[in-house]
Structure 1
Amino acid sequence: QNLVNGVAYMIVYQLSSFQFVHSIYQSIQEHNLVKGLSIAHVFFMEVSLHSALFVALHRVKRFTTWRDIGSEAAFFHASILITMVLSLPKICDFCIFTTLSFKEFNFGNGPELMPNRLVTNETLNVLSDIKSNAVSIITLCVNSILVVLIRRERKLISEPLNGRLSVERRLVITSVVSYLFYMFYFINNALARYAKIRFCGYAQWMFLGIASITPFWCLIIFTPTIRRAVFKFRTTTVEISSVQTKT
């Protein structure tokens, strides 16, 4: 979700400033497709934010109820439903009140399009920000609880069970580390928006990129099964390409 969110953010807010796509974004604006792009980005952003919370809650549940398999489907469906409900205020804001457009500027090196947001309902915008901040803080607290649970399990679990839970522990570590890097982006973004720190405004693209790719590399580092699957797929692809070349 973080990677999709990062790509959507890049398409909506970053690529427009490059001259080689100037005509493409002009065409998008002329055909009134900007609102659809902004809504799609908001949807991916909200899903990424809330899915991080429910992944952390699922890990806590697995540690505290000893793998209650019977409630997995109910938890999954509830998480999807709550994610959609919590995403509605932000999506409604961009559907009805907030308008995204591209304004043309000339900085001496040719025309460039810069994204511009026009907010007509400040109340809904502030409420959406408060909700996002609350979800982020709750997710951070849940991940902190996970760290405590992992340390406690390491002391209490006997050696035979330790191997069975090692995969679960690696996935928990992946969730915690990934969200830690997201919190760096979240704090930097808050400083840029509310404290008006210019450096944080420029650096938010770097933190967004790191937060987007961290989950993938954490899975590669901490989860041997995924690592083997990725490199096995790569090896198989290379072998097939070699055979086709020889043929």
Structure 2
Amino acid sequence: SQELLDAFDLINLIFITIALVVTWPLAIFVYSKLLLCKPYSTNYTFTLIVLNGVSELFGCTTFLVNFQIATFPFARPLIVLLSNKDIGYPMKALDYLANGIGLHTAFFVALNRCKSIISLRRKGTDSTFFFASTTISLLFASLKIIDLYAFSNHYYNETDFGSGPIFIPMIEVFDKTLRTITDIETAVVSCCTFILNVVLAVFLARRRIPDDRCTSENIDCRFKGERGLIITSVVSYTFYTFYFVNSFIARYYDITFCGYAQFLFLGLASLTPFWCLIIFASSIRR
């Protein structure tokens, strides 16, 4: 019933908001350590992981502000403010930018893990890979910002839902060409990232390294160090896959429950990169 869906929506809002409030300070501390403290600061792999984690958290936060709370009466003053395009459009641009960077850096993190396990003997900082990944991620993420400003009109439709006035986010599309291109590109990147993580999961399942074989000089020890990062990539992207599939169903098949569950899956997908890093990458906790 509608009452149950409304309750589910409110619970999602409270749960993910609390999780974000708890996660942000911890993430700032841990990610600052990775960026500023050796040996992490000299390894661009961790810089890429930080970029992915921060963009995921920021994307969830901006989605919360721009869209999720719009359907709750208490958020009316904020949504009225965001209805001003001088304020609302930059906020939506930040949302698109963060989510776009998060999507593409997740692909490059998985690709980097695959590259690392193929060449465990090779040492390096991967600076070229990092800068190429960042540049490509920014370029593709900017396509949705171009669509936002040039080919669509985003606004809020105010309506009375019984408990008070709420705002429904609306989009008027003038030209679907760029939007179609970005949708296809998003689907392709998501599928490629999924495939890479399946490869990583299979590799991880087939390779077992006993602790007594690990020394600071051998390949097995280096693999043990990679294993935590591989698990982080696989598990966190599994949650993103749930979000992607749910969003696809909600958008193209108009399933009401999937629409209400979208923020829950987005929140879980955004939070898991950080928490998986803490749980599975033991060196980060030291």
TM range, normalised to the smaller chain?
A: 0.7 to 0.9
TM-score relative to the length of structure 1? 0.85
Which blocks of at least 5 consecutive residues in structure 2 are unaligned? 1-54
1:33 aligns to what SS in structure 2?
Answer: helix
Kept in 2: contact 1:174–1:218 (CA 8 A): yes
1:32 aligns with 2:90: no
Partners of 2:114 and 2:203 in 1: CA distance: 8
Kept in 2: contact 1:101–1:117 (CA 8 A): yes
Give the letter for the 1:107 counterpart. Answer: F
Equivalent residue runs for 1:1-247 within 5 Å: 1-30=55-84, 32-66=86-120, 68-70=122-124, 72-154=126-208, 159-160=213-214, 161=218, 162-228=220-286
Q: Once the two structures are superposed, what CA deviation does each residue of 1:36-68 show, in whole Å capped at 9, x if it has no partner?
A: 111110000100000000000110111112253
Kept in 1: contact 2:120–2:223 (CA 8 A): no
Partners of 2:195 and 2:251 in 1: CA distance: 23
Partners of 2:198 and 2:57 in 1: CA distance: 23
The Cα RMSD (Å) is 2.1
1:154 aligns to what SS in structure 2?
Answer: coil
Give the letter for the 1:149 counterpart. Answer: F
Partners of 1:217 and 1:14 in 2: CA distance: 23
What percent identity do the matched residue pairs reach? Answer: 38
Which blocks of at least 5 consecutive residues in structure 1 are unaligned? 229-247
Q: Once the two structures are superposed, what CA deviation does each residue of 1:65-120 show, in whole Å capped at 9, x if it has no partner?
A: 22533461111111111112222322211121122111211112221122111111
Larger Rg: 1
Kept in 2: contact 1:171–1:219 (CA 8 A): yes
Give the letter for the 1:170 counterpart. Answer: G
